[in-house]
Structure 1
Amino acid sequence: MTNANITLAETEKDDLDAFFQFQLDEEANYLAVFTSKDSNDKTAYVEKYTKFLIDPTINMRTIKVNDIIASSVAKFVIKNDAEITYWIDKKFWGQGIATTALKDFLKTEQIRPIYGRVAFDNHGSQKVLEKCGFVKTGKGKRFANARQTEIGEHIYKISD
């Protein structure tokens, strides 16, 4: 994206309203797949993510484009492994924002290795991880709430 000022800010509770709206998009939800059982339950969404804001094992940032909330990126720990997650508002897809923001995030998030899991058919997200130095290390399967079936996933890892 040309002439865009992309910044990362510590996520605040007020940001969660925008994040909730982003994940309501059906196409985005389908591609993200690893979502909550009821993505329309705003109360549950805000309660869940409010807890994440005070969890010291989670590093959650709001991505802004020209001071407008465009997305989020976070590191969390599951089964002793650090993992990355991000979500981009659909109107910002294909503009390099996720790649730029994730590269910036990885400069400040020092834990390595970090893993990323991506639906087998989410080629855009796979490209973002690869451009940021992640390497495909395996495959898995997971139940995708958005699709109501088990699907394949690619597992990525960055070590340095």
Structure 2
Amino acid sequence: MSQQNVTLRPVQDGDLDAFFAQLRDPQAASLAGEVFEDPNDRQGFDAHWRHLRADESVHVRTIEIAEQGGARVVGHIRERTVSDEHRVSFWIERACWGRGITTQALGQFLHEITVRPMIARVPRHNKPAVVVLRRNGFHHVGEESGYDAARGRVVDELVLRHA
């Protein structure tokens, strides 16, 4: 795994086009813990991001990598409180998988956002996300199953914790 020049920064309006395109990748969506019921619904997507960005309790950052000619938006990472848990989640475009970018971004994010414990809930079949979390000090603390209305099926999740 080579080192990449990974930067986290506040989300800007122009980032949303990249996020929307990333969300619509069916292979990436199949690994995600949270998905939109209709990934082609740009209005719903924009409303979701307006809500996230307006909520002062949500910490969300754009993930960029340096490339020739400038920086490129490759994903996002966030922490928000859900049911009294500080939950972290991340999304990285598929072209960047396996390059260490997500591992670096999560490490930077954990340094910046210091609320603990932080919880990650990951679909059992998303083994790469579990690797990223473990490399950043998360430990397996449980397993849960729940109905996912957007997918129309039960999803088995692994629960990991960072103290």
Fold shared per TM-score above 0.5: yes
Cα distance in 2 between the residues matched to 1:21 and 1:27: 12
The answer (yes or no) to whether the contact 1:35–1:144 under 8 Å persists in 2 is no
| Percent of residue pairs bearing the same amino acid type | 28
State the Cα distance separating 1:13 from its structure 2 match: 2.2
Provide the residue aligned with 1:95 in structure 2: 99
Per mean C-alpha deviation after superposition, the further-off stretch among 13-22 and 63-72 is 13-22
Q: Give the aligned length.
A: 159
State the Cα distance separating 1:110 from its structure 2 match: 1.0
State the Cα distance separating 1:145 from its structure 2 match: 5.1
Per mean C-alpha deviation after superposition, the further-off stretch among 102-111 and 44-53 is 44-53
State the Cα distance separating 1:142 from its structure 2 match: 2.4
The answer (yes or no) to whether the contact 2:79–2:86 under 8 Å persists in 1 is yes
Of residues 112, 115, 119, the one that matches 2:116 is 112
Provide the residue aligned with 2:39 in structure 1: 39
Change over 3 Å in CA distance of 1:133–1:25 after alignment to 2: same
RMSD, matched Cα:
1.3
Confirm or deny that 1:64 pairs with 2:68: no
Unaligned runs of 5+ in 2: none
The answer (yes or no) to whether the contact 2:123–2:158 under 8 Å persists in 1 is yes
State the Cα distance separating 1:12 from its structure 2 match: 1.5
Name the amino acid aligned to 1:49: W
Per mean C-alpha deviation after superposition, the further-off stretch among 25-34 and 90-99 is 25-34
**For 1:157, what is the secondary structure of its paired residue?**
strand
State the Cα distance separating 1:126 from its structure 2 match: 0.5
Change over 3 Å in CA distance of 1:123–1:146 after alignment to 2: farther
The answer (yes or no) to whether the contact 1:33–1:146 under 8 Å persists in 2 is no
Unaligned runs of 5+ in 1: none
Cα distance in 2 between the residues matched to 1:30 and 1:142: 16
Task: Report 1:7-156 matches (<5 A).
Answer: 7-66=7-66, 67-144=71-148, 147-156=151-160
Cα distance in 1 between the residues matched to 2:152 and 2:56: 32
**Structure 1 length normalisation: TM-score?**
0.94
Cα distance in 2 between the residues matched to 1:116 and 1:52: 18
**Structure 2 length normalisation: TM-score?**
0.93
